[in-house]
Amino acid sequence: MIYEHITNFAGKPVKDWEAQSGLQDPEGACYALRLSYEEAEEGRRWTDKFAAFLDDTSSNQVTGIVIGDWGLLSSAMDETSAPVVEALVAARDRLPKLRAIFFGDIIGEECEISWIRQSDISPLFTAYPQLEHFCVRGAEGLSLGSLKHSRLKSLIIQSGGLGANVVREVAAADLPELEHLEMWLGEENYGADATVADLAPILDGGLFPKLKYLGLRDSQIADQIARAVATAPVVERIRVLDLSLGTLTDEGAAALLDSPAIARLEKLDVHHHFCSEEMTAKLQSLGVDVDASEREKPDVYGDEVWRYVAVGE
């Protein structure tokens, strides 16, 4: 579960945009546009708030925006993100400096991550050719289309269950500048149906020539992923491998230990894992920067053993 709104994005602090306070630091901060519980109760709409933001005289200087709850909390209806995508696309000429978009900074107390209804967000990449950082939360209904973008450096997809269709779109993307790729794969119960084979084009290493960070996080099949990544060519290219938040056990960790390429990384992040104490110690003595904190214990009910990813639901 995610409990707090983000405080930093694309290297900048995040501030809530409110009509009263306006834009005090349009270039130094990312501005969050969220329909708060209070505003929703008053019957206000996200699109109106966004229109007011665009009317703020310095909004054309803004470099990063965070889209918060667009009214999911206040609506008994199924609202997708399509109207938000549409509003952002229509605002393209009014946000000429926009480099960073966080689409869906919605916490569990507002809407479960697997209940966030996304949509086809591919028009955003065409509308904002200068975009460098993009993060989306929630995978239901999500589509990236045929993703081709000449500036994008960082792509993050946070979900409780990422569909194979999205993984395949990423694995077919043309992103020559991509340095940071992060996918929260999640659990089958919440829509995760990608297999290791779907990741193959990414693991082969040729797809994103500038990749430095690869995050295959929050995965229920973390062991399979660890085994595949350990010997994958992509590890030779990247500096940071992030397999955190998932259900990694000794089995997957052993594969990582056996890989000479893993030992040449700058950092290996596996925090929130299910490895034994011995294995955790071995990982920590790999000689690279290792985060193996948050050692979890499985839930045992009778002879059933359950290991949960950090963010499901």
Partner 1 sequence: MWRSASSDERLDHFVVIGNPGSRRIELFQAALNELRLPAAQVVSYLDLLSGKEALPRSVRDGTVVRIESPGKDFEVERALIAAGADAADDDERFDRVSRRAAQDLSFERGRILYPRQWYLGYCATLRLIELQLAECPPPRPLPQWMNSPAEIALMFDKIACHQALGARGAPVAPSLGAVGSFDEIGERMKERNWRRVFVKLAYGSSASGVVAYQTDGRRHQATTTVETARQNGELRLYNSRRIRVYRDLREIAELIDALCRQRVHVEQWAPKAGFDNRTFDLRVVVIAGRACHTVARLSRSPMTNLHLLNERGDEGAVRERVGRAAWDAAMRNCELAMECFPGSLYAGIDLLFTPGHRRHVLIEVNAFGDLLPGVFWRGLETYAAELLAMENGLN
Strand (E) positions, the chain? Answer: 8-9, 12-16, 30-33, 64-68, 100-105, 133-137, 154-158, 180-186, 213-219, 240-242, 267-269, 289-291, 299-301, 304-306
Return the residue of 38, 277, 303, 304 that touches partner 1, per CB under 8 A. Answer: 38
Q: Does 1 bind partner 1 (CB under 8 A)?
A: yes
The closest alpha carbon to 47, from 95, 85, 17, 20, belongs to 85
Q: Does 109 bind partner 1 (CB under 8 A)?
A: yes
Alpha helices in 137-179 (DSSP H): 164-171
Tell me, residue by residue from 139 to 178, as one string, x for binding to partner 1 by CB under 8 A and - for no binding: ----------------------------------------
69-88 positions binding partner 1, by CB under 8 A: 72-78
Part of the chain binding partner 1 (CB under 8 A), chosen from 48-56, 108-116, 153-161, 271-279? 108-116
Part of the chain binding partner 1 (CB under 8 A), chosen from 66-74, 219-227, 228-236, 272-280? 66-74
- Name which of 73 and 82 has its Cβ closer to partner 1: 73
CB atoms near residue 5 (< 10 Å)? 17
**Phi, psi torsion values for 23, nearest 5 degrees:** -105, 105
| Rounded distance between C-alpha atoms, residue 41 and residue 208, angstroms | 45
Do 168 and 199 form a contact (C-beta atoms < 8 A)? no
Q: Does 4 bind partner 1 (CB under 8 A)?
A: yes
- Name which of 117 and 307 has its Cβ closer to partner 1: 117
- Name which of 23 and 72 has its Cβ closer to partner 1: 72
**Phi, psi torsion values for 140, nearest 5 degrees:** -70, 125
Residue with tokens 């509003």: 87
- Minimum distance from residue 3 beta carbon to partner 1 (Å): 3
Q: Does 224 bind partner 1 (CB under 8 A)?
A: no
- Minimum distance from residue 293 beta carbon to partner 1 (Å): 12
Do 139 and 163 form a contact (C-beta atoms < 8 A)? yes
Query: Which residues of this protein are in contact with partner 1, per CB under 8 A?
Result: 1, 3-5, 16, 36-38, 72-78, 107-110, 112, 115, 117
